[in-house]
Structure 1
Amino acid sequence: MATSNKKIALHLTDLPDHLLAEIFLRLPDPADLARASAACVTFRRLATDRYFLRRFRCLHTPPLLGFLDRDGFHPALPPHPSAPAARALAISADLSFSFLPSHHLWTVQDSRDGRVLLHRGPKMCEVTPIFRELAACDPLRRWYLVLPRVPDDLAASVGRCRCKPSLFPLGDDEEEAAAQEASFRVIWMAYSETKLAAFVFSWSTGQWRAAASKGWSDLVLSGSESAMMPQVHPLFIRHHYAYGCFYWDWTLFWRKTLLMLDTRRMEFSIVVPPPGEWRKEGFAVVEAGEGRLGMFGFHGQPASDLTYTFAQNKGENPSQWHMEKIISLDSGYRYYIIAVNARYLLLIRTPDISQVNPLFEYFLIDVKTLRLQRVYSHYNRLKFVGTHIYTNFPPSLWSSHTNMKW
């Protein structure tokens, strides 16, 4: 088999680079490109070219390599197919963030496409500001940027509030204009007793701007409730991002709803989820394909089945839902959704916690396949908050210029 692969590589090297690049761009999985790059010097040179890699990463979804929580980075373990790349990442990257100043004070807030967003905790005897200091970084290439503080006038516009920062993808115009792979955007959601606000930081401008604002009374669903305050504020613990929109779970007058922010128009609105009882073990909004939203949630008592429903109509505000599949889970355990991005869902399975040193297991669902895959397990305390899926391309698919610092 090895001799056959070498013969194929020798024949392909006769092709000009631009044709080879088109072939490599059509490889279905980043792992296939990593294997091809090891076949010969020509393939390696092409597969590590900066321009080619930028094109490849634009056309492919980065695989899940593990997840981050308060204890650090946890790589995907065998038999998960990403385990070899996750192991290489754990060796190549600095996922303890030691390259950040006072790195022990920073806490992970979000992760997207290899970038990680952190905020700095207060130093001893320091008053904690509402809008903390943020840093965006790439632990594989060890670059970082400490973001400027949210300007006083923007902070004052929302008053005393709670807030949650998140990374979100670049717009199409920014992707075209981005000359470096370090480009990113951050959105800081803030909510007070009277309104919601969103502030956006763009790497290209280096500044914060007010992006959206809306009063709570403008979001209610009927005139009789318009003068009332929401009974429960949205919990900005875990966000959901799909097709240019953020979603949060929001209980409004004892009705389960979704708070949506359209980042293209920068407008807040309410989305009514599929009918039925959605249990406290969690839900997730994902990209179902063809511009349609998908939603995972638990049913049963206790939560023993995971239901996948998708919107029949395209667009960010669905009006009709269709149940696609019920994923049966092993009895005798409790499952919880602890992290989600547009494509992946991370669940934790808990045994009877009265056991001595119980084993907690982590499972991944790929929205495209709807298969449940075990990615990690540990004997430790249970965590529901502060877990973030980490996706990136294997270290072999990054060009050799690293150690950029701003």
Structure 2
Amino acid sequence: MEIDKNQLLRFTTAGSVDDGKSTLIGRLLYDSKSIFEDQLEAVENTSRKKGQEGVDLALFTDGLKDEREQGITIDVAYRYFTTPKRKFIIADTPGHIQYTRNMVTGASTANAAIILIDARHGVIEQTKRHTFIASLLQIPHIIVCINKMDLVEYKQETYENIIAQFEEFSSKLMIKDVRFIPISALYGDNVVNRSKHMDWYQGAPLLYELETLHISSDINKIDTRFPVQTVLRPQREGFIDYRGYAGRLASGILRKGDEISVLPSGFTSRIKSINAGDKEIEEAFAPMSIAVTLEDDIDISRGDMLVKKNNQPEPSQDIEAMICWLNNDAAKPRAKYTLMHTSNEQKALIKEVVYKIDINTYDRNNEDKDLKMNDIGRVKIRTTKPLMKDDYRENRITGSIILIDESTNETVAAGMII
């Protein structure tokens, strides 16, 4: 299969504290020659000042002075690099238990997740936590890198024992594709180049896996969903009677002449024209930004949705979602929030916390229902107007919501409709 050299792969890295995420990313950048000369020189100088003989690879990602002084990376950092075969965006997320929300943020658009395991410690609670989140967000590919193999004498038995531990708990989750690679990020074993110390490993190094990974689009191509962002009424010559509806096509395809329904009103019409920029086109597909006109004059505003007449979501004011609580303040019972769903903004309240998930054991906690920062739970939400929603597993765009605190305007939760 020929790889599209312009294709972009988004992947996230996750692991426990000191599992070597920063060193691994530094090794990827360094060995793939994706470091600018001035960056390399700065890191070499810093490494020398710290009394290190070689280059401290972690410094390529630990960009903030305060972080370096503390010896930890404490936020989601996005890194970009390119090889002759593919372009990459890395979301480097913290390993601390209290930063679950950061992994949810960093992994929400990822095509793949790299989960690091320290070969000395094997599968720990954080491994289960990160794997659960990757499963919840339906990341298609998981690459488990068993790091620090140099500290266990590159033993095949250690590697195979950790695979068995991982497969035992991950069998309960909905994961499509899992791959295992034994590595030493510090010395570069099986990161960009094959390891001379692990002849028993017959697989490819990490970079090759990333370069050849099949990126299956997470865009739903079947269900046409066009959330209206704004109504265009230009008052200039040639556009006096023009009334267009602009937005980004969330999923599916729209063609000139298609019979559509406007939700939530239920009025029907046909697509008269489709414009992408200044150009009129015959059809549009997700995720194109377009403006459409209709054959009938219908009252449409921001937050409405155009769908195919014979393929519609079921509008509802009562929804259930798995949410990750992002805010320092706990969820308030029956408190009102602003709910954002595509271009739709409306008032909503959490009617009930059905259960919280113990994401170390995957057990449902039906007793303690207080949602605090980094908690994940199933909730029932009531909205003031019908929501044109799909299940998250069917459509990542129309299946996603966020909740905003009305008083502080802070984003307090991110959710996946079920």
In the superposition, the TM-score normalised over structure 1's length comes to 0.23
Structure with greater contact order relative to length (CA < 8 Å, sep ≥ 6):
1
In the superposition, the TM-score normalised over structure 2's length comes to 0.23
